[in-house]
Amino acid sequence: MTGLFVLALFYTMYFLRPVLLPVVLGLMLSYLFRPVVRAMAKMGVNPHVGAAILLVSLVALIGYGVSYLATPAAGWLEKAPYGLQQMQRKLLPLKKPMEKMAAASGEIEKLTAPEASGVASPVVEVRQNRMSDVLYGRTPEFFISTVLLLILLYFLLAYDAVFLGKVIKLMPTLKDKKRAVSIAHEIAAHVSKYLLTITLINIGLGIAVGSVVGFMGLSNPIMWGTMVALLNFVPYLGALTGIICMTIGAVLSFDNLGYAMAFPAVYLFIATIEGNFITPYVMGRSLTLNPVIILLSLTFWGWMWGIAGIILAVPILAAFKIFCAHIEEMEPIAEFLS
């Protein structure tokens, strides 16, 4: 029965992802921005007004950022066909040894291949989803999910105290009510601290990498810094993707292949310092996560919800660990995830 329940739960989570994705993302963003709304409330701003101001500012900032970065991003895409020809020419010295290896591999396959049986081999066609399909599905679903996210985020921020009060009323005894308030406040504080710290670290990493590559001569350093900051929300895979993108961009921008390789090397160096020294020092042991569990979480949520699942995998895991750490019966799970 337990196995059937787990399978049914996974199927439901996959089937309802257009609804669950904005809900989970809204919860995470509410933890991130809740301190801002509370700070505004201490200054005399009504939470409803504060939440509205925050959301309008957030949408305006994202809109400005997209419009500002759209032009350089489109420029890179326009010169991509010509750039691929340049890359082939620059990588030609490395191509010849690879061709020899491929030819040798082909000869080995001929020697070890079974005799032809006259039966045609089946053709396997791999269909790749478009990015929009992986993230949310069709465009209407993306639009609906975005609107739902904004509405949900507003109510979570504006009615924070109301929701907590409703939960407290469900507790049967005064002791349970006090325990629920304590746990809720501690979990909210730690999750907010985690998300805010990670966000600031990623912004710092983006500024550092963007500044260095801009000083070295790579065009559009703000675009590269933004890319680095956003990709760093996905541990390991994000940095790997960023290094590949920067390698391509540097090879397209500079004739000297050796100098072009210095850009991904600098990115890798700064990201290594951040991942192995800065983040563990700032976060502390209580908020660090097991790397193996992180990879498993990325795999699971990526399979479940696509790119959006990969982005949310670590925040979900961190929130679950913090929740377990504040429930006495679940403390061993929190220790295992550390």
DSSP conformation letters of 266-283: HHHHHHHHIIIIIHHHHH
Q: 3 near 132, Cβ under 8 Å?
A: no
The pLDDT tens digits for 31-62 are 889 888 988 989 988 989 999 999 999 999 98
Q: Residues of the chain with pLDDT > 70: what percent?
A: 79
What is the average pLDDT value for the chain, to the nearest integer? 80
Q: What is the mean pLDDT of residues 232-250?
A: 88
Ranges of H-type helices in 120-256: 131-135, 139-158, 160-169, 174-216, 221-231, 237-253
Using a 10 angstrom Cβ sphere, with 0-12 exposed, 13-18 middle and 19 or more buried, the burial of residue 34 is: buried
What does DSSP assign to residue 217? T
In terms of pTM, does the model score above 0.85? no
pLDDT surpassing 70 at residue 206: yes
Q: What is the mean pLDDT of residues 207-229?
A: 93
Q: What is the distance between the alpha carbons of residues 279 and 318, in angstroms, rounded to a whole number?
A: 14
State the pLDDT confidence band at 211, using cuts at 50, 70 and 90. Answer: very high
Q: What is the mean pLDDT of residues 295-299?
A: 86
State the pLDDT confidence band at 271, using cuts at 50, 70 and 90. Answer: very high
Model pLDDT, residue 99 = 62
Q: What is the mean pLDDT of residues 265-272?
A: 94
Residue 170 CB coordination number (10 Å)? 9
State the pLDDT confidence band at 287, using cuts at 50, 70 and 90. Answer: low
Residue that wins the pLDDT comparison between 254 and 4: 254
Full DSSP string of 94-153: HHHHHHHHHHHHHHHHHHHSPPP-SPPPPPP-PPPPPHHHHHTSSHHHHHHHHHHHHHHH
Nearest to 86 by CA among 218, 257, 223: 257
State the pLDDT confidence band at 70, using cuts at 50, 70 and 90. Answer: confident
Residue 316 CB coordination number (10 Å)? 16
State the pLDDT confidence band at 137, using cuts at 50, 70 and 90. Answer: very low
Q: What is the mean pLDDT of residues 122-141?
A: 51
State the pLDDT confidence band at 131, using cuts at 50, 70 and 90. Answer: very low
Sequence length of the chain is: 338
Q: What is the distance between the alpha carbons of residues 300 and 218, in angstroms, rounded to a whole number?
A: 36
Model pLDDT, residue 110 = 62
Model pLDDT, residue 269 = 95
CA dihedral defined by 283, 287, 291, 292, rounded to 10 degrees? 180
What does DSSP assign to residue 234? S
Q: What is the mean pLDDT of residues 174-197?
A: 80
Q: What is the mean pLDDT of residues 124-133?
A: 48
- AA identity, residue 97: P
State the pLDDT confidence band at 69, using cuts at 50, 70 and 90. Answer: confident
- AA identity, residue 300: F
State the pLDDT confidence band at 132, using cuts at 50, 70 and 90. Answer: very low
Q: 159 near 142, Cβ under 8 Å?
A: no
Model pLDDT, residue 92 = 66
Q: What is the distance between the alpha carbons of residues 75 and 78, in angstroms, rounded to a whole number?
A: 5
